[in-house]
């Protein structure tokens, strides 16, 4: 199937075409860049929700319940479930996909699990591009679900319009986890399994930490109590997500954030292309030679880097 035909099919929402397109991106196929170039004009309509938090917080069940509510409103939902901890099977998230079997039969829901396959670096980029493909496919809501609080996961949820952090009463270390970067990007906190002992104490602890947070805007972060296994409180969560979306649009923050994300994406593409062009076989060889002779010379890393850059400029007639 040609790229043009694939784009035509995926923009009509054909699941097979969507799967193939995401696989091209995930496997770094030579056609992936051409595909992404062609789909961007069809993107920008989907509302993106990032759901993250420590393992065992019940995020997948929450995603399942949230998706059911959105489907009741006849909204098309795309789910990208990312598990950076399982390089072979995709781990727990694939099990959650089985639990989501009700949704997999639904033509208005597309679920894709993505695992690292040994490389954490490019995972966030690929997950975000998979989200763009679903956006072009006509999905009105795209949910990114990630495990943990590493840099890769933070990068993924940063691509979302609304970021939901899910915690549970037992996770005493969750407050510490929040300080590790989640605090700055969270728009809504969810205390799941809130029918368990210590739920109110945990809510107060979250609110206490939030009081020290440096605010990005005038949005008041809410802490929602849910029991995802029964669906309790999930309707309140959806309500607050919509309230946050309305707030972003009304204040102009929505447009500002999307422009910032676009600028960041363009910078990343430029850096990646420059890196690809820079490290030719010639310069790799130069680097090996310099490092090989480093003990016999007074060259330091800065000088070697400057020499390589000079070589690059000269070769490209930029200097």
In this prediction, residue 90 carries a pLDDT of 41
20 plus 56 within the same structural domain: no
CA atoms in the 13 A half-sphere facing the CB of 196: 15
Residue 20: inside a domain, yes or no? yes
86 plus 184 within the same structural domain: yes
Listed range (144-153, 265-274, 308-317) with the worst mean pLDDT: 144-153
19 plus 136 within the same structural domain: no
14 plus 132 within the same structural domain: no
Residue 268: inside a domain, yes or no? no
98 plus 28 within the same structural domain: no
Quote the CA–CA distance of 156 and 184 in Å, as a whole number: 14
106 plus 239 within the same structural domain: yes
145 plus 6 within the same structural domain: no
Residue 75: inside a domain, yes or no? yes
182 plus 286 within the same structural domain: no
8 plus 133 within the same structural domain: no
Quote the CA–CA distance of 24 and 15 in Å, as a whole number: 14
**For 57-98, how does the pLDDT look when each residue is reduced to its tens digit (9 = 90+)?**
889 899 999 999 999 999 999 999 887 554 444 444 444 555
Residue 78: inside a domain, yes or no? yes
In this prediction, residue 124 carries a pLDDT of 81
Q: What is the mean pLDDT of residues 136-162?
A: 84
**For 188-246, how does the pLDDT look when each residue is reduced to its tens digit (9 = 90+)?**
999 999 999 889 888 888 888 788 776 667 888 999 999 999 999 999 999 999 999 99
Domain that holds residue 142: 43-259
Residue 127: inside a domain, yes or no? yes
Residue 266: inside a domain, yes or no? no
| Domains held by the chain: number | 3
90 plus 16 within the same structural domain: no
68 plus 88 within the same structural domain: yes
**For 248-293, how does the pLDDT look when each residue is reduced to its tens digit (9 = 90+)?**
999 999 999 999 999 988 998 999 899 989 999 999 999 998 887 6
Residue 264: inside a domain, yes or no? no
33 plus 48 within the same structural domain: no
pTM, entire model = 0.87
> In degrees, to the nearest 5, what angle opens at C-alpha 7 toward C-alphas 135 and 273?
80
- Which is more confident, 178 or 138? 138
Residue 286: inside a domain, yes or no? yes
Task: Return the CATH number at 128.
Answer: 3.40.50.300
């Amino acid at each position: 199937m040609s790229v043009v035909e694939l784009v035509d099919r995926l923009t009509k929402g054909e699941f097979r075409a969507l799967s193939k397109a995401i696989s091209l991106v995930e496997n770094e196929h030579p056609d992936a860049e051409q595909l992404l170039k062609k789909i961007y004009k069809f993107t920008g309509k989907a509302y993106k929700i990032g759901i993250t938090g420590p393992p065992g917080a019940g995020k997948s069940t929450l995603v399942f319940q949230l998706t059911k509510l959105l489907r009741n409103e006849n909204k098309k939902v795309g789910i990208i479930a990312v598990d950076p901890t399982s390089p072979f099977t995709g781990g727990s998230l694939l099990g959650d996909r089985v639990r989501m079997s009700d949704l997999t039969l639904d033509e208005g829901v597309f679920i894709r699990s993505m695992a690292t396959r040994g490389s954490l670096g490019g995972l966030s980029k690929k997950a975000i591009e998979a989200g763009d493909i679903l956006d072009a496919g006509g999905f009105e809501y795209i949910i990114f679900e990630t495990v943990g609080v590493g840099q890769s996961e933070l990068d993924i949820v940063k691509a979302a319009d609304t970021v939901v952090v899910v915690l549970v009463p037992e996770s005493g270390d969750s407050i510490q986890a929040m300080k590790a970067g989640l605090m700055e990007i969270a728009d809504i906190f969810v205390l799941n399994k809130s029918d368990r002992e210590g739920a109110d104490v945990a809510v107060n602890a979250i609110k206490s930490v939030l009081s020290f947070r440096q605010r990005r805007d005038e949005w008041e972060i809410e802490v929602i109590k849910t029991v995802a296994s029964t669906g309790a409180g999930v309707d309140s969560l959806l309500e607050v997500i919509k309230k946050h979306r309305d707030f972003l649009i009304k204040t102009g923050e929505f447009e500002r954030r999307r422009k910032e994300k676009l600028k960041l994406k363009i910078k990343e593409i430029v850096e990646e292309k420059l890196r690809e062009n820079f490290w030719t076989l010639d310069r790799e060889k130069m680097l090996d030679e310099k490092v090989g002779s480093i003990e016999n010379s007074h060259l330091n890393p800065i000088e070697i880097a400057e020499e390589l850059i000079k070589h690059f400029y000269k070769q490209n007639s930029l200097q």
